[in-house]
Structure 1
Amino acid sequence: MPPALQAARHAGLRKADHGQAPHYSRGALDRWPCYACPLDDCDWHHDDDAARPSDPALLEAKVLEHLADHNIVDALRSLQAARDGSVAVRESNNRAWDVVNLHRLRAVHRGEHAYSDPVGQMLSAALVGTAEHNDVGRELMALSEGVAGARDITSVPVAEPLNGMRP
């Protein structure tokens, strides 16, 4: 897939994941793949019919034509917002690991194995993304059935990595 088109596809998924225009959920993206402007605060997008997909070269040209309308300040603003978001996620991740380490050290002080605390284990599995975390999602779904306000309580998947890198 050409680079600008890949970035636009990634942007469409990322914006849907975050409830931003042009789409507010991934549901519509199965039938109509969305190529969106990768810059923040820009609602430009192109929906392609999955049953009759457009030529990738034509879509690439359409994306590049749109991007040419933006100036360097728009791009820099989006890059800075992405950097700020990455820093906030890293700091949040560090705080969560502090909780994991606290649970591990408490277990050691109780004379138990450092990895014996179930809360520390669950949080660690969630942070690392191990298969054990899938058990948490299944239990959440089971426990949320019939509970008012608990609809869609589980986390949603984020956009797929761009060029093998995490979004």
Structure 2
Amino acid sequence: MNAITEAAEHAGRWKAERGQAPHYATGHVQWWTCLACPLDGCDWHHDDRHDAPAAPAVLEALVREHVARHDLADVLASLATARDATAAVNASNDRAWDVVRLRRQQAAERGEHAYSDEVAQQLSSALVGSEEHQAVRDQLGDVPNS
């Protein structure tokens, strides 16, 4: 998955987690990125098509015009919350990579190839979103719910 697609899907998930319809979309012919208002209860968004993107100045004007309708304190609080959430996700990601590095180091210390550890392989494939992670999801689908 490329960075543009990930950003679009992230915007959609962010809105969906707040009970609002996700506005990112995929298609065989086109993709677009959704600029969505981060404030709860606000449905404003702008879909920017990748095959005909708006100029950065146009996007900035759209966002500024919308944000001006909100109380500045609410916007700043929302941005601070987003910053804190991003920092928490980054810290979690770093901790997971620490586990991968440790498992690889332990494999090397056992005289094995550093990339032979199955747990490290599964975790790193999950962290980078590789196709190999689908095998884990497939196995989870076979496990009955407890």
RMSD: 3.2
Q: Give the TM-score normalised by structure 1.
A: 0.55
Partner in structure 1 of residue 14 of structure 2 = 14
5+ unaligned residues in a row in structure 1: which ranges? 1-9, 30-34, 47-62, 150-167
Percent identity reads 46
How far is 1:43 from its partner?
Answer: 1.1
Comparing both chains, which one has the higher relative contact order based on Cα–Cα distances under 8 Å and sequence gaps of 6 or more?
1
8 Å CA contact retained: 1:37, 1:43: no
Question: SS at 1:44's partner residue?
Answer: coil
Matches within 5 A, 1:57-136: 67-136=67-136
Matches within 5 A, 1:43-58: 43-45=41-43
Pick closer, same or farther for the CA change 1:11–1:38 going to 2, 3 Å.
farther
How far is 1:148 from its partner?
Answer: 2.9
Deviation track 1:7-28 (CA, whole Å, cap 9, x = no partner) reads xxx7564221x2x2345xx6xx
Pick closer, same or farther for the CA change 1:13–1:102 going to 2, 3 Å.
closer
Partner in structure 2 of residue 38 of structure 1 = 37
Work out the CA distance in 1 between the residues paired with 2:69 and 2:122.
Answer: 47
Work out the CA distance in 2 between the residues paired with 1:98 and 1:13.
Answer: 27
Q: Report how many residues are paired.
A: 114
Q: Give the TM-score normalised by structure 2.
A: 0.63
5+ unaligned residues in a row in structure 2: which ranges? 1-9, 26-33, 45-62
